[in-house]
Structure formats: C-alpha cells, structure tokens
A and B are shown apart, each in its own frame.
Chain A
Amino acid sequence: MAIVELRFSAQPEHVRTARLVAAAVARRAGVDEAVLDEVRLAVGEACSRAVGLHRSNDVTTPIRVVLTEEEKTFSIEVGDEVPGAGVAAADAAGVPGARAAAPAEEFDDADGEDEMGLAVIRGLVDDVEVSAGEDGGTIRMSWPVSSADVLS
C-alpha cells in the first residue's frame, strides 16, 4: 500500500491542484485512462464541497486529501473538519438525483450546490462512502485498478 497525502487551505484556487495531483496519482496507480476524467471530477466535487464547508463555518484548518494505492483498488479520501457536516451529506447522498429532479426554478447560484456536488459524485462513482463525526466529515471513493502490472 502506498499513499500520497495532500493538505491545502480552504481556498477555491487550490481545488484544481488537488484534481491534478489526484489524476496523476490515479494514473500511476493503474486506474483506467477512460476513468481518469471521473476521478478528476469526483475529487474536485469533494474538495469544492469541503472548501465551501470550511469557509462557511469559518474553519481555518486545511482540507485533507489522502490518495491510497492498494493492490486492486485506488481510493481517495477527502476530509473536512466541520463537525456533523457529513450527516446532512449522508442523507443527501442517499437520494442521488433528488436535486436533479427538482425544477430549475428551485436552483439558485449558491443554493444546493452542495447536494448537486454529491449527486455528481454518486452518479460518477460506484463505491462511495460519506461519513460524519465529531471532528468532521469524510467522503471516501474508490476505483478498481487494472490487473496489468504497473511500471514503477
């Protein structure tokens, strides 16, 4: 098992960096090229959500992204430090598409982006876990890696 860990201040401009790093590590781990776009998008959604949570709750600690390469899977864990935030997220994640089914008039620029982000993650990634704790929430996503040997 090998890991790459990234910590960044809750600033929107760093989300792109997290996407690039995640895609690079996923590629190296042997995640299928066709799936890399999904990895990029999913990690971006998870990080955008965490940045939003930290900023709206005045949490100054960094967002944590852990990329783990295992024998058969590649997983990404995005952790925020907003207590209890994941509870609502877990509820929202349980009903993917609920937001998408709502009429357009109910959307607004800022409202509902959180749920829409989770809906996108749910739609993209088969293996997702959203959890919440006293210390914050975590979104854990994983993808299979190809069985072919990866050149090191």
Chain B
Amino acid sequence: MDLSLSTRNVSGAGGDRTVVEVGGEIDVYTAPKLREQLVELVNDGSYHLVVDMEGVDFLDSTGLGVLVGGLKRVRAHEGSLRLVCNQERILKIFRITGLTKVFPIHTSVDEAVNAVD
C-alpha cells in the first residue's frame, strides 16, 4: 500500500492547527513524500501541525526521521508538532527509540488540536 496524505486547517483552543492525515506505509520509499509535505506546510507558514497516524499501517526509522525533521522545522518557528496514534504496533516504535519523550502523542485529533503547552 502506498502513502496517502491529506491536510486540513482546524481552529483549536490554542489557535489554528493544520491536521495532516497520513495513511498507508511510511518507509524508505514513501517517507520523502511525507517530508515534502511537512516542508511545504512550514514554508507556507503552518507552524502548528497535528499528524494523524491512525491510518498508518507501517512506520520505520526513515519515517521517524522525517517526523523528527518536521519537529525541528516547526520548532525553529516556535511551532509544535503533535501526533495522534492509538495503535500499539506504531507506538512501540516510538517507545523503543525513546521518541515518546520527544513527541506529544494524543489519542484523538480533537485532543491534539485543543492541546495547549
């Protein structure tokens, strides 16, 4: 399965948020598409991102690298990058790499959109 991406703007408790809905497999082949999407959003001035991973079937370290790269970019603009994920198989990858300490991980898009630091 290939990667699917869609974005929408949502108004949350802390201000405007851009939700990036990701579906399919994020691996060494598809991760560059996600990277392009995140770079484009930041270049267009969207600094508060919520990446919805509920439709993701597979994630590897290449995908983690892209998310970390995205986080770095939004932080340069005092932005935020929050993840939405409830799938144990995906959460496990964040845990074994210690990235649960780096990313705020939420159980729903609603919760992530309304989260305030």
Report A's interface with B, CB cutoff 8 A: 12-13, 15-16, 19, 37, 40-41, 44-45, 47-48, 51-52, 97, 99-101, 104-105, 107-110, 112-113, 116-117, 119-120, 123-124
Measured in the bound complex, the distance between the Cα atoms of B62 and A108 in whole Å is 11
Contact B27 A44 (CB under 8 A): yes
Q: B60: which A residues are within 8 A, CB to CB?
A: 41, 44-45, 48, 117, 120
Contact A15 B27 (CB under 8 A): yes
Contact B61 A107 (CB under 8 A): no
Contact B28 A107 (CB under 8 A): no
CB distance from A54 to the nearest CB of B (A): 12
| Further 8 A-B residue pairs, CB within 8 A, beyond A16-B25, A44-B58, A45-B61 | A41-B60, A47-B28, A52-B28, A100-B97, A105-B75, A108-B65, A123-B97, A124-B96
Closest 4 CB pairs of A and B: A100-B98, A123-B96, A109-B69, A12-B29
CB distance from B87 to the nearest CB of A (A): 10
Nearest-CB residue, chain B, relative to A113: B65
Q: B98: which A residues are within 8 A, CB to CB?
A: 97, 100-101
Q: A124: which B residues are within 8 A, CB to CB?
A: 96
Which of B29, B58, B99 contacts A100, CB < 8 Å?
B99
CB distance from B92 to the nearest CB of A (A): 8
Q: A113: which B residues are within 8 A, CB to CB?
A: 61-62, 65
The verdict on B66 contacting chain A, using a C-beta distance below 8 Å, is yes
Interface of B is mostly: helix
Contact A120 B27 (CB under 8 A): no
Residues of B41-89 whose CB lies within 8 A of A: 58, 60-62, 64-66, 68-69, 71-72, 75, 89
The verdict on B106 contacting chain A, using a C-beta distance below 8 Å, is no
Which of B25, B29, B72, B96 contacts A107, CB < 8 Å?
B72
Q: A120: which B residues are within 8 A, CB to CB?
A: 60-61, 93, 96-97
Nearest-CB residue, chain A, relative to B59: A41
The verdict on B102 contacting chain A, using a C-beta distance below 8 Å, is yes
A–B Cβ pairs within 8 angstroms, 28 of them: A12-B27, A12-B28, A13-B29, A16-B25, A16-B27, A19-B58, A37-B89, A40-B58, A41-B93, A45-B60, A45-B61, A48-B27, A48-B61, A52-B28, A99-B97, A100-B96, A100-B98, A104-B72, A105-B72, A107-B65, A107-B68, A108-B69, A109-B35, A109-B68, A113-B62, A117-B61, A120-B96, A124-B96
Q: A16: which B residues are within 8 A, CB to CB?
A: 25, 27, 29
Measured in the bound complex, the distance between the Cα atoms of B97 and A37 in whole Å is 16
